[in-house]
Chain A
């Protein structure tokens, strides 16, 4: 059911590498509530990995564990072949893990450009004093990062709004800016929490295109949560299916689609 350990070639010819991140027997409890129960799966270099499941299945909790926002009660997270100890979220960001949020978490008071530049924080090094007088290192660094950010702005086709305060933008564009901010960090792995939620068909198609392009051009590994089955099956290389905090399926979209447990979870089982 799982792919071979050395990586593989996808049907559309992309090369998928070795294991980048591995979740080993993750359990997450909030008091008496078990949000995630003994789940293991891996994410490979360069692949698009989806996590799906009905409402309340624990998908977002899983993403929060990956992004370091929750610390699992039991189990281990391995990243780049090393065990990741308990870390603060901003330390996880420095490892090269970036994410977007289900209900957009942009900085409303700042312009699009500033929002995206903020995404590159972990890559900026100039000190307080040099910034205070805007000389040498700070000014040069600012220019270099601006150039990188402009590439992402071009890529996501948001040139015309770069100076607009984010608070004034419509929903679809905000989602795109959030993707831009996450991309700006040049992450090894990009976590997308329902990137298509609340979008119309056109916006969804745009977003799909961007996700595929990001994966294709930058080689970024992507893990995403999504409700829209059509989208998930088209986009992803491998899918994890969760239900009530347990893993009920894991494999390529075709394998998952024919998995009896998954069908039961989504369509219901006759009781009788």
Chain B
């Protein structure tokens, strides 16, 4: 009915292989971009920025990063929290060491440093697979958190052992520190996320992405047709850690402002992002957004519903909320193991034919 391909002819291969081949999808994408860049920045307030949008944007970046490694390249990782910590501490050290350079560059560089660390911890993936690799990356998680706790150089010998983001600006607007406005925080993260998402999408639809998926689906056949497993797996670790490092830097500098490594980047964070990827849909960029939205929005929504609407005590609501989120995850994974992205695909396929059944 309102969602169809009829009449939408492709005259070149480039048109055919673009990200949104269906016109309706493309317009919807432009509409989302227009709302995100043109409307939300003007109406956003501190509550919405801190409770919903900024965490959603940052977790989306991290989820895209992990999805590249786990969803596209098939390498399970439980080290996400540790890699985010690398991004955060790299960003902190850069911010304090070179105060004159734009934080935009610091965040990108922090991603680069995390990429290097990711490659290092990705080396075992050449020998071990599946659950065993997950355990190896778990070692990375614990080691990195331990390292940032134990070596005072990383937190500039501060007495509390915490790292605190100094005030930094982009184009004259504060994006870190106490004077930051909700709009600036939001826009800074949004620009980063847009960049990350476009790059991730381009990589996954091209040669690199096909190599990753080949390794994921059948590594022996991939090797026979010319995929070098060493470089392919390490590229996946590199790109994935790059994005996760950016997410970690933003999480610390823009969202938290001050962080203690065990609390902010502990094993819970690794699991949270892994859940986002699984619930959203492995091997799908859209799924990364959907999973992040689900796990960021659901607790906020439940809290508002239980405390705000029903007037329950806060502590009771907090516990019930955990149980409901956990329960929903289980129900959801039984109903649709391929995640929100698959539900979305099915819905689109139905909509294309609607109102006809076939």
Contacts and interface: CB of A to CB of B under 8 A. Distances in A.
Contacts of B224: 67, 69, 89-90, 93, 99, 105
Interface stretch (B150-158, B162-170, B203-211, B301-309): B203-211
B46 interface: no
B211 A121 contact: yes
A126 interface: yes
A114 B207 CA distance: 9
B226 A110 contact: no
Nearest to B71: A109
A78 B202 CA distance: 40
Contact of B217 (A90, A99, A109, A138): A109
A147 B17 CA distance: 12
A146 B13 contact: yes
B206 A143 contact: no
Nearest to A135: B202
B221 A131 contact: no
A242 B221 CA distance: 26
B14 interface: yes
A139 B225 contact: no
Nearest to B199: A132
Contacts of A150: 13
B227 interface: yes
Nearest to A107: B217
B202 A134 contact: yes
A59 interface: no
A181 interface: yes
A105 B218 contact: yes
A117 B208 CA distance: 11
Contact of A118 (B12, B16, B203, B210): B210
A124 B225 contact: no
B213 A90 contact: no
B221 A105 contact: yes
A106 interface: yes
Interface in B220-263: 220-229, 235, 239
Contacts of B225: 90, 93, 98, 118-119, 121-122, 181-182, 185
Contacts of B228: 88, 90
A133 B206 contact: no
A120 to B, nearest CB: 9
A138 B206 contact: yes
Contacts of B218: 105-108
A93 B221 contact: no
Interface in A139-160: 139, 142-143, 146-147, 150
Contact of B17 (A106, A132, A142): A142
A63 B336 CA distance: 42
Nearest to A145: B207
A67 B202 CA distance: 32
B280 to A, nearest CB: 16
Contacts of B203: 128, 131-132
A94 interface: yes
A133 B199 contact: yes
Q: From B16, B207, B214, B218, name the one whose CB has the most chain A CB atoms within 10 angstroms.
A: B207
A246 to B, nearest CB: 27
Contact of B206 (A99, A108, A142): A142
A205 B213 CA distance: 32
Contacts of B4: none
B315 to A, nearest CB: 44
A101 interface: yes
Contacts of A124: 207
Contacts of B202: 131-134
Contacts of A138: 206-207
A33 to B, nearest CB: 21
Contacts of A94: 226
B283 interface: yes
B283 to A, nearest CB: 7
Interface string B165-190: 00000000000000000000000000
B269 interface: no
Given A110-B213, A114-B213, A143 B226 contact: no
B217 A147 contact: no
Contacts of A131: 202-203, 206-208
A117 B216 CA distance: 16
Given A107-B214, A134-B206, A185 B226 contact: yes
Given A90-B226, A142-B206, 11 more contacts: A88-B228, A90-B224, A90-B227, A107-B218, A118-B210, A118-B225, A128-B235, A142-B207, A147-B13, A150-B13, A182-B225
Interface of B: 12-14, 16-17, 198-199, 202-203, 206-208, 210-211, 213-214, 216-218, 220-229, 235, 239, 283
Interface of A: 67, 69, 88-90, 93-94, 98-99, 101, 105-110, 114, 117-119, 121-122, 124, 126, 128, 131-134, 138-139, 142-143, 146-147, 150, 181-182, 185
7 contacts: A90-B224, A90-B227, A106-B217, A107-B221, A109-B217, A138-B206, A142-B17
Nearest first, the 5 closest Cβ-Cβ pairs linking A and B are A93-B226, A105-B221, A107-B217, A122-B226, A146-B13
